[in-house]
Amino acid sequence: MSGRHLRGLVVGLGSIGRRHARNWAALGLGPLAVCRMHNAPQPEPLGVEAQVYWDLDEALAEHAPDVVLVTNPTSLHVETARAAIRSGAHVLVEKPFGCALAGVAELIAAAHTAGKLLMVGYNLRFHAGLARVRQLAHDGSIGKIVSARAEFGEYLPDWHPWEDYRQAYSARAELGGAAILTLSHELDALCWVLGPPRRLVAMAEHASSLELSTDDVAEIVLDFEAGAIGSVHVDYIRRPPRRSMELVGEAGVLRWGYERNRLELYAASTGQWRVEQGDPAFERNHMYRKELQHFVACVRGEIARPMVDAEQGAAVLSIALAALRSAAEGRRIDFAIDADPLTRAWLKCLKSA
C-alpha cells in the first residue's frame, strides 16, 4: 500500500490484535509497536518486527503512534481509545465500541475536538458478498423488503484453542463479554442493509453447560424504520459454525452464506434461483486487510469518512445494550420512548451508513 509511513500501536495481543499487527506489517504501513495487557499464552510467535510495551502510557509516549488499534477486552475499549486520542493518535476500536454507554459521548466529542478519526471495527462491512447483498437490496432487486434474518453461531471453546475459553473476555461479564455484545456483527450488518430499528424485543440466556458468566444464546426481533421486521440469532454453541443473512422481499429473496461465500437471488418473476456472487478463493483475512487499508486511507486524507464512524459504532452498541435490557426486563424497547436524544441521533446515522 503506497503512501507515507505511519507509526502504529496495537493495544492488546489477543487473536484480533495479532491479526491487525500482522496485516500492518504485511501492508508495509510503518513502524509497529504492541502493548500487551497481560501475559496471556500465545499460540506462536507474532512473527513480525514490533516493539513490545507492557504499559499503555509508556507506549503512547515513547512510540508516539499516528494510529492506535484498540484490541483489548471490551470493558477497556473506551478508556484506551480516550488515552490514544489524548496522545494525538487516530483510533480504530474493535467491536463492540464498549460494554456500556458511559464515556462514549465524551470520547466521540474528544475525537472531534482533536480532529482525530475514530472508527469501530465491524469488518463484515468489508466482505464483498455482504456489500453485494446491500447493493442489491438498495437497488430494489427483490422489491420492498418485508423481513430479514441474520445469524451467527460458533462454539466458544473452538475460537482460540490455545487458551482457556473461561478466561477470555467473551465469557466474562466483568470484561464486557456476552454473546449479544461480542457477536454484534450481525446487528451491525442488518442495520447496514436496512437502516435503524424503531423498537426491539430480545431473549438471552446462559443455556448451555459452558462455564461462563454471560448469555451464550440470544434471539432479537427488530422493527425497522424502513418497514421490515428483522431477527438476529447469535450463540456460542453451534458446531459447525454458521453465518448467514436472508432478506425476503415482495419480488424475491436474497440469501447469503458466509461459509460457502455464496450469494443467491430468487426472482419471483421467473421462479428461479441464480447465483449472484461467489468466490471460492475468498479468505477471511481479506476483509480485515481491506478494513485496515480503508482506515489508513482515511488517516492519510484519501477517503473523507470512515465506513463505520464513531457515531455508527455508538448506535450499534446502543442497539445491543437495548437488547440486553429487553432480555433482562422482559419487555419491548421503543427507541422513541426509551432512548435519550443523543442515542436517537446516533441511530439516525445508520440511515446514511
Q: Please check whether residue 288 lies inside any domain of the structure.
A: no
- How many structural domains are present in the chain? 2
Q: Are residues 165 and 257 both part of a single domain?
A: yes
Residues 119 and 86 in one domain: yes
Domain coverage including residue 95: 8-123+293-297
Is the pLDDT score of 1 beyond 60? no
Residues 278 and 325 in one domain: yes
Residue 287 placed within a domain: no
Confidence of residue 281 (pLDDT cuts 50, 70, 90): confident
Cα 266 to Cα 274: distance, rounded to the nearest angstrom: 6
pLDDT at 12: 95
Question: What's the average model confidence in pLDDT over 112-122?
Answer: 98
CA angle 176, 58, 32 (to 5 degrees): 80
List the alpha helices (DSSP H) in 215-275. none
**Same domain as 195, residue 181:** yes
Distance CA 34, CA 49 (A): 10
Mean pLDDT of 268-275: 96
Instruction: State residue 41's pLDDT score.
Output: 73
Banded pLDDT at 352 (limits 50, 70, 90)? confident
340 and 240 within one domain: yes
Work out the pLDDT band at 2, boundaries 50, 70, 90: low
Same domain, 232 and 332: yes
What's the mean pLDDT in 4-15? Answer: 95
**Domain contains 76:** yes
| Model confidence at 56: pLDDT above 70 | yes
Task: Show which of 297, 327, 342 is a domain's final residue.
Answer: 297
Residues 22 and 72 in one domain: yes
pLDDT at 119 > cutoff 90: yes
Q: What is the mean pLDDT of residues 119-138?
A: 97
Q: Give the CATH number of the domain where residue 169 resides.
A: 3.30.360.10
Alpha helices in 64-103 (DSSP H): 77-87
Query: What average pLDDT does the segment 72-88 reach?
Result: 97
User: What is the C-alpha to C-alpha distance for residues 91 and 82, in angstroms, rounded to an integer?
Assistant: 9
- Cα gap 148→221, rounded to integer Å: 10
Instruction: Assign residue 53 the CATH number of its domain.
Output: 3.40.50.720
Report the alpha-carbon distance of residue 351 to residue 157 in Å, rounded. 36
Same domain, 148 and 88: no
**Claim to verify: residue 160 and residue 248 sit in the same structural domain:** yes
Looking at the fold, whether 115 and 225 belong to one and the same domain comes out as no
Are the beta carbons of 214 and 166 closer than 8 angstroms? Answer: no
Report the percent of the chain where pLDDT is more than 90: 90
- What pLDDT sits at residue 328? 97
Say if residues 97 and 188 touch (Cβ distance below 8 Å): no
3-state class of 88 per DSSP?
Answer: coil
Tens digits of residue pLDDT in 141-190:
999 999 999 999 999 999 988 889 998 889 999 989 999 999 999 999 99
**pLDDT (tens digit, 9 = 90+) per residue, 198-238?**
999 999 999 999 999 999 999 999 999 999 999 999 999 99
- Cα–Cα distance for residue pair 161/156, rounded to 1 Å: 9
The domain boundary, picked from 297, 327, 344, lies at 297
Count CA atoms closer than 13 A to 288's CA, side-chain side. Answer: 17
Between 272 and 44, name the one with better pLDDT.
272
Q: What is the mean pLDDT of the chain?
A: 95
Nine-digit cell string for 76: 477497556
